[in-house]
Amino acid sequence: MARYRHYDPEQTKMIAVSYGRQLLPGTFEHALSYLIDNEIDLGRFAARFKNDETGAPAYDPAVLLKVVLFAYSRGITSSRTMARAC
């Protein structure tokens, strides 16, 4: 089983912003987040990881997929531009 870094959309560490509360119902961002978290099977990503016992935890594919799809929706296709935007 793949190990991922902890991902909590209600996290308030280091900054006083809860990302879960920033996604307003009815917006594209909220729909994208809901679809990725609840409707899309990301099991194929987990099958590729072999870090259950050794190695560092990976970033959760759900978070990375949200970043990439949202950036594409805004016309950002460069990975370096995505990194700066994050």
The 10s digit of each residue's pLDDT in 16-54 is: 667 777 888 999 999 999 999 999 998 888 777 777 777
Residue 11 belongs to a domain: no
User: Is the residue at 39 inside a domain?
Assistant: yes
Higher-confidence residue: 23 or 6? 23
The residue type at 25: P
* CA geometry: angle 24, 29, 34, nearest 5 deg: 85
12 lies in some domain: no
- Please spell the DSSP secondary structure of 17-51, one letter per residue: --HHHHS-TTSHHHHHHHIIIIIS--HHHHHH---
- Give the chain's domain count: 1
Find the domain containing 30 and state its range.
Answer: 24-85
pLDDT of residue 4: 72
Polymer length in residues for the chain: 86
The whole-model pTM stands at: 0.70
CA-CA distance, 81 to 49, in Å (whole number)? Answer: 27
The per-residue pLDDT for 56 is 76
Q: What is the pLDDT of residues 48-85, one digit of tens each?
A: 777 777 777 778 888 899 999 999 999 999 999 999 98
